[in-house]
Amino acid sequence: MQDWWRNSVTYQIYPRSFQDSDGDGIGDIAGITARLDYVASLGVDAIWLSPIFTSPMADMGYDVSDYTGIDPLFGTMADFDAMVAKAHDRGLKVIIDQVISHSSDKHPFFEESRSSRDNPRADWYVWVDPMPDGTPPNNWVSVFGGSAWEWDSRRRQYYLHNFLTSQPDFNFHNPDVQDWLLSTMRFWLERGVDGFRLDTVNFYFHDQDLRSNPPDPRNTAVPKVNPYDMQDHLYSKNRPENLSFLERLRALTDEFDGRAMVGEVGESRRAGEIMAQYTAGETRLHMAYSFDMLGPEFTAEHFRQKIEAFYAAAPNGCPCWAFSNHDVVRHVTRWTAFGSQDALAKQAIAMLAGFQGSLCLYQGEELGQTETDILYSELTDPPGFKFWPDYKGRDGCRTPMVWDDSDQAGFTSGTPWLPIKPPQKARNVAGMGAGSVLESYRETLAFRKNTPALRHGRTVFLDLPDPILGFLRDDLMCLYNLSPNNAMLTLSAVPSLVGPWQNAEIEGNTLTLGANGFAFLTTA
């Protein structure tokens, strides 16, 4: 189907932590292949794999040293081809992560670029002279802490790195860089992948005048844990030149049937605006998502505002809504003040199923999986070391998938690369029976797939008292009580429950929603 991606459901797999097939404690491609029947049983349309390319693993694969090679840690190209074939046989599309805003400093092109100022790839990365006093050219900071500029003694210049110093940024103002990156993506399209998840898609271009970023106007007197969040990143990312490159990306994917791209918009102030801009029309990204729903906010007003703002800016655009991924605390833990773990987990998939657009689920959330409490001695994530203890990094959401209650949870026969602790082991696939979170996910996704209003209907929000979130999708009413306390609504007509529901009772035209209750209703 040409537009399979529209209103689709994608399941994110973090390869290091999904299934280990060879006992080294690290998940791999063969392990993913072995578990594809489970993924297909959820009722999703596609899988997204976090990076599996050759890498020194300074940032767990988000530092690529060979864009067309499989890292031996994960297997071989033959393993990859077999995985894609089985996924397609099971009706699953395959999306792979593309980390093209930067490479590893071990990439041969960066090693060549840093060797002199006049080599063939001297301008493939962002190099600048120091100020007269030896300092960097502006105030740009790295997402992972410290200056975004690193001094290189060989070139006697600074290079830009929005993340680790070992992740130098490509110079997208150089058309040769664009051409080469597009060629690496063509390689994977020709190999049969169905699309790309574009990491940090709004980071590609930088301001050529190197203007300093202003402070974020939301700053308070108390500095934030990460000073990156204290700037309004007008010049280090979000540049208008990005749009023409997105059109080149779209032109490439349009050469192949049924391919799609979803872009990660890493931005805190204008995320919805950028998402809409990047997906407007038919010549840019197919889908985009931001971190707007990956934070602590859990109110009807918040969810309504994000959805309405997107569609006001891009009525025909396609967002990709998610509550968890490999970069944030799992949503059941983030929202623990608003209900019990199981009730929140079941309500979360009912909310996502109701939202207009496409959805992305992160491995383990279908189990109601919680964040792992990581000790400093167990850390692997660079920002965790940098900002401990106020920010413990991303390891807590990246611990291995829990398949059963055996010693290593069915993930490996060896020692897992991150610990599997009792609270996580308690939420295992084998132990999920009738009435479980897993059953709720399967039931709700099946309901969404078989309900035209949820696949194609426009959203009209209802003005309801807090903490109730409510909207219509055509003739289907979706209601959610975002609290652990009872809430009541009197409806203008006598409703009928359809599809999955939780803690919902109807008496006449009065609906009572219990703790984290939700209901799909018709009044026909």
Task: Let me know if residue 55 belongs to a domain.
Answer: yes
Mean pLDDT of the 503-508 span: 95
**Residue 322 shares a structural domain with residue 466:** no
Q: Is 22 a catalytic residue?
A: no
Q: Is 199 a catalytic residue?
A: yes
Task: Let me know if residue 130 belongs to a domain.
Answer: no
Q: Which domain CATH number covers 480?
A: 2.60.40.1180
Model pLDDT for residues 296-320, shown as the tens digit of each residue: 999 999 999 999 999 999 999 999 9
Q: Which domain CATH number covers 376?
A: 3.20.20.80
Mean pLDDT of the 38-45 span: 98
Domain boundary among 414, 448, 482: 448
Q: How far apart are CA 441 and CA 95, in angstroms?
A: 21
> Structure tokens of 46?
């596609």
**Per-residue pLDDT for 282 more than 90?**
yes
Q: How far apart are CA 140 and CA 315, in angstroms?
A: 34
Measured CA distances, 160 to 62, 168, 238 (Å)? 16, 6, 16
- Helix (H) or strand (E) run with residue 471 in it: strand 468-473
Task: Let me know if residue 78 belongs to a domain.
Answer: yes
* Cis peptide upstream of residue 389 (ω within 30 degrees of 0): yes
Task: Let me know if residue 2 belongs to a domain.
Answer: no
DSSP state of 248: H
Q: How far apart are CA 11 and CA 7, in angstroms?
A: 13
At residue 185 the predicted structure's pLDDT band, cuts being 50, 70 and 90, is very high
Mean pLDDT of the 56-73 span: 98
Q: How far apart are CA 153 and CA 132, in angstroms?
A: 16
In which domain, by residue range, is 478 found?
459-522
Task: Let me know if residue 135 belongs to a domain.
Answer: no
Mean pLDDT of the chain: 97
Mean pLDDT of the 424-431 span: 98
**Per-residue pLDDT for 1 more than 70?**
no
Measured CA distances, 225 to 150, 198, 230, 258, 394 (Å)? 22, 27, 10, 43, 15
Mean pLDDT of the 196-210 span: 98
At residue 221 the predicted structure's pLDDT band, cuts being 50, 70 and 90, is confident
Model pLDDT for residues 351-372, shown as the tens digit of each residue: 999 999 999 999 999 999 999 9
From 97, 199, 292, 365, active-site residue? 199
Phi/psi of residue 473, each to 5°? -115, 95
Model pLDDT for residues 376-397, shown as the tens digit of each residue: 999 999 999 999 999 999 999 9
> Structure tokens of 482?
């975002």
Model pLDDT for residues 106-143, shown as the tens digit of each residue: 999 999 999 999 999 999 999 999 999 999 999 999 99
As to burial, measured by CB atoms within 10 angstroms (0-12 exposed, 13-18 middle, 19+ buried), residue 4 is middle
In residues, how long is the chain? 524
CB–CB of 130/158 below 8 Å? yes
From 3, 255, 301, 407, active-site residue? 255
